[in-house]
Amino acid sequence: MCGTRVVHRQIKKERPEFNPDEEKNYRLTDKELLNLISEGHKLGVREWLITGGGEPMIRKEVTLPMMKKIKELGMEGNINTNGALWTEKDIEMVVRAGWDKIMFSIDGGDSETHDFIRGVPGTFDKAKNTLNLIQKWKQKLKTDNPKVIFNTVICKSNYKKFDKLIKLAQNIGCEDITFIPLVTYEDFRHDIKMSEQNRKEFQKLIPKYKKIMDKSRIGSNIEYLQEKKIEKSTDMHEVILSENKKESTNEANDFSSVPCFEPFTNLVIKMDGVASPCCMLNDLSINVKKQSLEKLWFGPYFANLRKSMIKKELPPQCSTCLFTQVAKNQELRQEIRKGLENNE
- Dihedral angle sign, alpha carbons of residues 308, 312, 315, 320: positive
Which strands make up the sheet holding 76-81, listed edge to edge? Answer: 47-50, 76-81, 101-105, 147-154, 176-181, 219-220
Which CA distances in Å does 41 have to 19, 72, 293, 337? 33, 11, 11, 28
Instruction: Give strand pairing partners of 105.
Output: 151
Nearest to 2 by CA among 271, 237, 236: 271
DSSP-assigned letters across all residues of 172-219? HT--EEEEEE----TTTTGGGSPPHHHHHHHHHHHHHHHHHHHHHT-E
d(CA 12, CA 100): 30
Q: With the CA atoms of 189, 274, 16 and 123 taken in that order, what torsion angle do they form, in degrees rounded to the nearest 10?
A: -40
Q: With the CA atoms of 214, 216, 221 and 224 taken in that order, what torsion angle do they form, in degrees rounded to the nearest 10?
A: -30
The total number of residues shown for the chain amounts to: 344
- Interhelix angle for 30-43 vs 60-72, to 10°? 20
Nearest to 173 by CA among 122, 90, 101: 101
**What percent of the residues of the chain are helix, what percent strand, and what percent coil, each to the nearest 5?**
50, 10, 40
Which CA distances in Å does 79 have to 83, 103, 141, 203, 216? 11, 6, 20, 30, 24
d(CA 292, CA 294): 5
d(CA 222, CA 114): 19
SS3 34: helix
In this prediction, residue 9 carries a pLDDT of 30
Q: Per-residue confidence of the chain (344 residues) as pLDDT tens digits?
A: 333 333 323 233 343 455 556 666 678 999 999 999 999 999 999 999 998 667 999 999 999 999 999 999 999 999 999 999 999 999 999 999 999 999 999 999 999 999 999 889 999 999 999 999 999 999 999 999 999 999 999 999 999 999 999 999 999 999 999 998 886 655 555 678 888 899 999 999 999 999 999 999 999 998 888 655 555 555 555 655 565 555 555 444 578 888 899 999 999 999 899 999 988 888 889 999 999 999 999 999 999 999 999 998 888 888 778 777 887 888 888 888 887 777 66
In this prediction, residue 342 carries a pLDDT of 73
Nearest to 24 by CA among 272, 269, 268: 272
d(CA 221, CA 324): 9
